[in-house]
Structure 1
Amino acid sequence: MKITVCVLLIFFCGCDLMNRPRFNEKPRLQQKPSKTDLPEVSIASVPQNIVEYSALCQQNNTPEGAVAMTILAMWIYAEDQDFGQKAMSVISHPDLLQAGDKGVDGMQLGNMDLQRLRDRLKGKRYMLQSYFKGTTKPQYTATPPFVVETFKNPYSRLEKGALKVYVYCNGADNPRPVTVKPHNGTWKVKEWSSLTLGVKK
């Protein structure tokens, strides 16, 4: 009986020692997904009307360009609601649009998105300026050219051609995700809610 107990103790102690980490064994660190910086998007000046804004969107027909044009449209909205609503309808994917007279060509943002713009951005240009390279709190004053920096990672590619792009924000600890998706050869914004989050003051 004593022999059996001793054998069992030796067995369990041996198993415990095997499961313990070795003294000189370094803990395994979980690797973070590598990121790929996308080309900077530089905006020389703010468009004065929807024709100029639409032309600027065509000039920046890339995933990172669509993100920058979305930020620009919101920046415009914070000062000029009518112009901003039209700009947002130009850069937004058709999935976000509905019939209405607050956009262009008889299409406008959905009511919930319009409400979000009103609640989060009206009179808060500084929030959008925080996405421009080199700006600092509290007002994030921006001067031309207005540069937007973005990146993607191995998980950025989504279903049906959509792409999640991350934009650097000087008013937040972490970059903010924006989903863009091509439509008829033109990159459009599909999900932009993170851009309306608050920033440090």
Structure 2
Amino acid sequence: MGLFDSLKSQAISTIRKEAGSAVNNAVNGAMQNIGKGRNHTETFQFNVLPQNLSELQALPEASLDSAFKTAALVIVALTRYEQDTAACFEMLNFLKGPEPLSEFEKQFLKDRLSGATYKTMSFFDGAIPGNNYQPMVPYTLKVSENPYSFDNENWAVMYVTSGGADSPRPIKLRKKPSTGQWFLNEIQCLSDIRTPVAADPWA
């Protein structure tokens, strides 16, 4: 083998080794990152809860640039249902983006929250059946994802935990790619929870 052939062989061998090493590093890095950030929880605090749409829009979370923020504001908006249903609907319509609440969705909220608005307060820290779901102040709310939350492009299912339930409850969201904002798609977190002590005849 001539000098040229020897140098060529060495160069090819070096390139193959470096390419193989790069591939291995990429694969290892990808494997190490699998699951990272897929059980992430974000905490939101509110000194006071917004009473209307303008107060909601003044919150930093109203940028809606993450599914966590939008999910948190869904719970915040729902706390107004009993005191001012119209204001609650205005806030939810903002969070719904291009598709406002349908009559079916309004009836759904009526069915789930009439006489049971404590459900919405139960998602804040410190709210449990024993204190009739009175949360601590500042109002603290945790929103979580799981490994499957973002499986479908431009869709997300986030989770909030009630002090009256044993497992997290979902909120379905949809991303608008042109703005990067996340909007409410479906409220799935309002199924029954444990009765507050004041309303429990067996307490």
Regarding TM over 0.5, the answer is: yes
Report the alpha carbon displacement of residue 60 of structure 1 after superposing the two structures with TM. Answer: 5.9
Report the alpha carbon displacement of residue 70 of structure 1 after superposing the two structures with TM. Answer: 0.5
Deviation string, structure 1 residues 10-37 (Cα, Å, up to 9, x no partner): xxxxxxxxxxxxxxxxxxxxxxx89513
Q: Does 1:50 align with 2:47?
A: no
Deviation string, structure 1 residues 90-134 (Cα, Å, up to 9, x no partner): 11143xx3xxxxxxxxxx410110001111113433111110012
TM-score (norm 1): 0.70
Report if aligned partners of 1:165, 1:179 keep a CA contact under 8 Å in 2. yes
Q: How does 1:1-201 map to 2 (within 5 A)?
A: 36-56=39-59, 57-58=61-62, 61-94=65-98, 97=99, 108-138=100-130, 139-183=132-176, 184-193=179-188, 195-201=189-195
Report the alpha carbon displacement of residue 192 of structure 1 after superposing the two structures with TM. Answer: 1.2
CA distance in 1, matches of 2:190, 2:185: 14
CA distance in 1, matches of 2:148, 2:64: 23
Counterpart residue type for residue 132 of structure 1: F
1:128–1:76 distance in 2 versus 1, CA, 3 Å: same
TM-score (norm 2): 0.69
Larger mean Cα displacement after TM superposition, 146-155 or 65-74: 146-155
Counterpart residue type for residue 53 of structure 2: I
1:124–1:61 distance in 2 versus 1, CA, 3 Å: farther
CA distance in 1, matches of 2:97, 2:64: 15
Counterpart residue type for residue 183 of structure 2: K
Deviation string, structure 1 residues 65-99 (Cα, Å, up to 9, x no partner): 111110111111122111111111011143xx3xx
Q: Between Structure 1 and Structure 2, how many residues are aligned? A: 156
Unaligned residue ranges in structure 2 (runs of 5+): 1-34, 196-203
CA distance in 1, matches of 2:162, 2:49: 20
Unaligned residue ranges in structure 1 (runs of 5+): 1-32, 98-107
CA distance in 1, matches of 2:67, 2:110: 26
Counterpart residue type for residue 196 of structure 1: L
Counterpart residue type for residue 174 of structure 2: K
Structure 1 SS opposite 2:125: coil
Counterpart residue type for residue 118 of structure 1: K
Structure 2 SS opposite 1:127: helix
CA distance in 1, matches of 2:119, 2:65: 24
State the percentage of identical aligned residues. 26
